[in-house]
Amino acid sequence: PGIISMLKSLRSLKLSSVGKQQVEHALTKRAWGAQNLAEESQVSEATAKNFRAGKSVDRKNFVIFCKVLDLDWEEAAGIRQI
């Protein structure tokens, strides 16, 4: 991989398959959709939808979303195993 892709991977994160399950469970428990998550996180709805879909989002936003949902962001990203 080139230096650009390596730098991008440091700036952004995406949900692991386990992380996606955790997010869906947390959203269902709260009866929230992407709009609610965006509002509570003060981040755009488009970014919240990308996060929920498992697409890469800025690391700062990823951590904020996980904090709002009471999830461990490293676990949700698959950096740390459960």
| Residue 6 confidence (pLDDT) above 60 | no
What is the gyration radius of the CA atoms in the chain, in angstroms? Answer: 12
**Residue 61, CA distances (Å) to 2, 3, 7, 50 in order:** 25, 23, 17, 11
What are φ and ψ of residue 3, in 5° steps? -65, -35
- Residue-wise pLDDT for 23-58, tens only, equals 999 999 999 999 999 999 999 999 999 999 999 999
Mean pLDDT, residues 1-10: 61
| Residue 76 confidence (pLDDT) above 60 | yes
Token look-up 């080139």 returns 2
- Residue-wise pLDDT for 61-75, tens only, equals 999 999 999 999 999
Q: When comparing pLDDT for 10 and 26, which is higher?
A: 26
